[in-house]
Amino acid sequence: YKIPLKVLVIKNNMLNQIAWEQMMFLGNPQFGCELQPIDFAKAAEAMGAKGFRIERADQIETVLDQAFATQGPVVIEALVDAYEPLMPPKMPADYAKNFRQALPRTPGHERIEENIAREPAKSMMDA
């Protein structure tokens, strides 16, 4: 099929929404959220589509231009940091308390701590 469908897969090898909910809503370290890696670009090609991969921010424009210039179905796999905070614009006090309680026991907590020390996440944590 030559359907001009373009799909963007934001890949971090995690069920990140669930991991952050475990920490913020429940105060528990994330558990059971890691996924086995899959190469979505190669999987797309195995099924007859064209696959592209974005590994660094400086590749975004070039890869998107190539993908949108491609006839037929395309899958664009964009790698993102699994430890980048997935946070609301303003964190309620009980979420912040739960998060701080869960963080030290969470796999990758050092990377998460580095990321929440940067803006805009820092302002969300301090709110």
Q: What is the pLDDT of residues 28-84, one digit of tens each?
A: 888 888 899 999 999 999 999 999 999 999 999 999 999 999 999 999 999 998 888
**For residue 100, what pLDDT is reported?**
86
Residue 115 has pLDDT above 90, yes or no: no
What proportion of the chain, given as a percentage, has pLDDT over 70?
A: 93
User: Domain locations in the chain?
Assistant: 6-126
Residue 127 has pLDDT above 60, yes or no: no
Instruction: Identify the H or E element spanning 69.
Output: helix 60-69
Residue 89 has pLDDT above 80, yes or no: no
- Cis amide bond preceding 120, omega within 30: yes
Domain 6-126 sits in CATH at 3.40.50.970
User: For the chain, what is the mean pLDDT?
Assistant: 88
Tokens describing residue 116: 């929440």
Do 19 and 43 meet the contact criterion of CB atoms below 8 Å apart? no
Pairing mode, if any, of strands 6-11 and 74-79? parallel
Q: Bridge partners of 75?
A: 7, 51
Q: How far apart are CA 28 and CA 66, in angstroms?
A: 42
State the Rg of the chain over Cα: 18
